[in-house]
Amino acid sequence: MSDNLASQFLLREDVTFLNHGSFGACPRPVFETYQAFQLELEREPVDFLGRRLTDTMREPRHVLAAEVGSGPEDLVGVINATTGLNIVAHSLPLQAGDEILTTDHEYSALEKTWAQVCRRTGAEVKVVKVPLPLEEESQFVDTILAGMTERTRVLFLSHITSPTALLFPLEAVIAEARRRNIWTVIDGAHTPGHIDLDLDALGADFYAGNCHKWMMAPKGSAFLHARPEVQGLLTPLVISHGWTEQSKQPGAKGAFGNSPFIDEIEVQGTRDPAAWLTIPSALAFRRENDWRSVARRCSELAEETLERVVERTGLAPLGSSAFRAPQMVAIPIPPCDAPAIHKTLFEKHRIEIPVFKWQDRHIARLSVQGYNVRGQMDSLIAALDELVGLSDQAASAATA
């Protein structure tokens, strides 16, 4: 990867930024487009928000839908994946005795969302433990299928997991859940711009994705996708001008001429739509910079860095390469005081990377994006070696 790509980003030069996974990073030209939209809005707010907004929102929706394999009427902008998934979780008609089936790899804010839904409805969350290391699709599929009962109403899964950076093979479990009339709700916070998506083919009832992570659009750009047959189940979290009394009737039109699904969720009171409007610019940036090749190089560097650490520690990866996210990898590190290591990595070494304890494992979650270079991986390995003694581990494993 060339320094040229790093210069296209706004990241501080004194920080080795290895945490694209948490909040993304927006390239300079894309950020300029974002600011241009904000300026245009401020120069004539009534024209921008009052007269033209519905039309202006349409192009990003069509462009994004084509990118992620969705019909343009089946996807709507939200400000983050959490919001999209909350709309679903709070809309589904659950009651006491119902089960929400999920795994032990889910994102904590969404675990809280379902916990709150359960408190309100009396439904229960059932967590299955995905076997590790994940090396065969059947390990995942069998675990999920074994968790399904006649009480299961919802299957909630990440596509790429947050703590373990695993890529779950979803197709078979979604198909089986649909066969059993279980609603499938997928957390795709990490997938847009990271892996190829064909949402219609995947067939989940509901799928939320972030454009502000790997697609590199500005913060506050995300989407909720819903199959046409289940869109009518949804109620927005905020009721605003897009809502109509008739919206649940067959063939109803939304308040602004789109489907009720789009109009009800898209209009949430006054807010800044600039991040959403910038999505076509983010996709253009990727095309102009041959991001497929960049992403391939990033993925190779992530893989190589994992292997270099594994060689030293002898600690096995959490899954084989087919089940690991391409540009984000959970690197197992020796037992340590994870919060202290995380703090020292940033304060002393100026390396931004999440380090945490997950279940009984200690993990450094490395993200590699186009602005990263191999020398930064060398710095990470050297710092980890200094702080947690990577090779000591191999030596003790060899003598054990």
Ligand X SMILES: Cc1ncc(COP(=O)(O)O)c(C=O)c1O
Binding region for ligand X (CB under 6 A):
22, 80-82, 107, 109-110, 158, 162, 187, 189-190, 210
User: Cα angle vertex 200, ends 197, 288, to 5°?
Assistant: 35
Show the tokens assigned to 114: 């379902």
Nearest distance from C-beta of residue 47 to ligand X, angstroms? 30
Question: Which residue number, 9 or 223, has a Cβ lying nearer to ligand X?
Answer: 223
Output the smallest distance, CB 319 to ligand X, in A.
15
Closest separation between CB of residue 63 and ligand X, Å?
20
Burial, 108: exposed, middle or buried (Cβ in 10 Å; 0-12, 13-18, 19+)?
exposed
Give whichever of 154 and 390 is closer to ligand X, judged by the CB atom: 154
Of 67 and 187, the one with the shorter C-beta distance to ligand X is 187
Tell me the closest approach of the beta carbon of residue 255 to ligand X, in angstroms. Answer: 26
Nearer to ligand X, 20 or 312 (CB): 20
Closest residue by Cα to residue 25 from 289, 341, 372: 372
Half-sphere exposure for 323 (CA within 13 Å, toward CB): 22
Q: How far is the CB of 87 from ligand X (least distance, A)?
A: 12
Residue (48 or 107) nearer to ligand X, CB: 107
Between residues 80 and 372, which has the closer beta carbon with respect to ligand X? 80
Contact indicator for 361, 375 with CB cutoff of 8 Å: no
User: SS3 sequence, 116-178?
Assistant: HHHHHHCCEEEEECCCCCECCHHHHHHHHHHHCCCCEEEEEEECECCCCCEECCCHHHHHHHH
Please state the closest distance from residue 335 (CB atom) to ligand X, in A: 24
Of residues 173 and 383, the one with the C-beta less far from ligand X: 173
- Picking from 290, 252, 393, 259, the residue whose alpha carbon sits closest to that of residue 334 is 393
Among 133, 180, 175, which Cα is nearest to 153's?
Answer: 180
Residue 130 falls in which region: left (phi positive, over 0), alpha (psi -120 to 50) or beta:
beta
User: Phi/psi at 211 (nearest 5 deg)?
Assistant: -95, -15
In whole angstroms, the minimum distance from the beta carbon of 108 to ligand X comes to 9
CA 281 to chain centre: 20
Calpha distance 227→207 (Å, rounded): 9
385: three-class secondary structure by DSSP: helix
Quick one: 109 or 132, whose CB is closer to ligand X? 109
Query: Contact at 8 Å (CB) between 84 and 222?
Result: yes
Q: How far apart are CB 311 and ligand X at their closest, in Å?
A: 28
